[in-house]
Amino acid sequence: MSKNWDLYFDYINEKVASIVLDMDVWKEIDTEKYRQALTVRLILQQPNADGFPSSNESNIISEIEVALKELVSHKEIINVGRITTDGFRDIIFYSLPEKQKDLVEAANQIITSTGYEFEVFSMDDEKTWAFYFDILYPNQYQQQHMGNRSVIDSLKESGDCLETPRQVDHWLYFEHAPMRESFVEAIKKEGFSIEENSLQVNEDGPYPVTIHRVDSVDYFSMNDVTDLLVTFAEEYNGVYDGWGTLVMN
């Protein structure tokens, strides 16, 4: 289990979902050995309007989850993440194929006395770790949302109230100069200005460009902006490399 855990939001069956994931676990374990995906599903007793646990229930659910993970940690059953949505929490594990019985026993030991309804089930991957990479792992837009949250958290820690729109700088790279030029012309139509001194000439690539626009820097506003830029970058065979701005107290 790695130390690189992160959180993002998505929709599952048209319901908002919170997904917490060990982003690098697949780099640190033998995925051919730990190839069985298993889920312990807890049915929430006091979900809020979004299907997430209420503040009081959140602590109880977290305690159950921690106790369960600790109990199976020495049984070749590895926790890789969790999904919370629509009134339930799925705690996701990967294990040896024959270890489902051990997880069922652990769940019975930890959860039964709490009064929570639960079930344990397996996911049959068509290929090794398909569930992890195809369902749990964030796409490029969601990964950028995670990066947005990190920058916004840094702004808040510096005393920024996030209420004032301001110039936001964005960095992108392109494989070929003509594609960068086409991107520049297209993105101007979206209200962005180009930092002309960023248009470096490099025969070997990559070809950078810095653009900016005045925008709000709250989480939802920045997600909309970066979704746009990731899409444009992909269209012109480029890579969006993030954003930055000044702290405004």
- Say if residue 221's pLDDT is above 80: yes
Instruction: Give the confidence band of 99 by pLDDT, cuts at 50, 70, 90.
Output: very high
Percentage of the chain surpassing pLDDT 70? 99
Instruction: Give the confidence band of 104 by pLDDT, cuts at 50, 70, 90.
Output: very high
- Tell me what the pLDDT averaged over the chain comes to: 94
SS (H, E, C) 2-44: CCCEEEEEEEECCEEEEEEEECCHHHHCCCCCCCEEEEEEEEC
pLDDT of the residue at 1: 74
pLDDT of the residue at 128: 74
Domains 5-136 and 140-245 agree in fold: yes
Distance CA 201, CA 66 (A): 53
pLDDT of the residue at 249: 84
Question: Which residues contact residue 34 at a Cβ distance below 8 angstroms, ignoring those fewer than 6 apart?
Answer: 76, 78, 94, 95, 96
- Say if residue 126's pLDDT is above 70: no
- Mean pLDDT confidence for 189-197: 96
- Say if residue 209's pLDDT is above 70: yes
Instruction: Give the confidence band of 97 by pLDDT, cuts at 50, 70, 90.
Output: confident
CB 48, CB 38: distance < 8 Å:
no
pLDDT of the residue at 201: 77
pTM above 0.95, yes or no: no
Structure tokens at 106: 């652990």
- Domain 140-245: assigned CATH number: 3.30.70.970
CATH of 5-136, one of 3.40.640.10, 3.40.630.30, 1.10.10.10, 3.30.70.260: 3.30.70.260
Task: Give the domain ranges of the chain.
Answer: 5-136, 140-245
- Say if residue 125's pLDDT is above 70: no
pLDDT of the residue at 200: 81
Distance CA 65, CA 69 (A): 6
- Mean pLDDT confidence for 141-153: 96
Instruction: Give the confidence band of 2 by pLDDT, cuts at 50, 70, 90.
Output: confident
- Mean pLDDT confidence for 153-162: 95
- For the stretch 63-87, pLDDT in tens is 999 999 999 988 999 999 999 999 9
- Mean pLDDT confidence for 147-170: 96
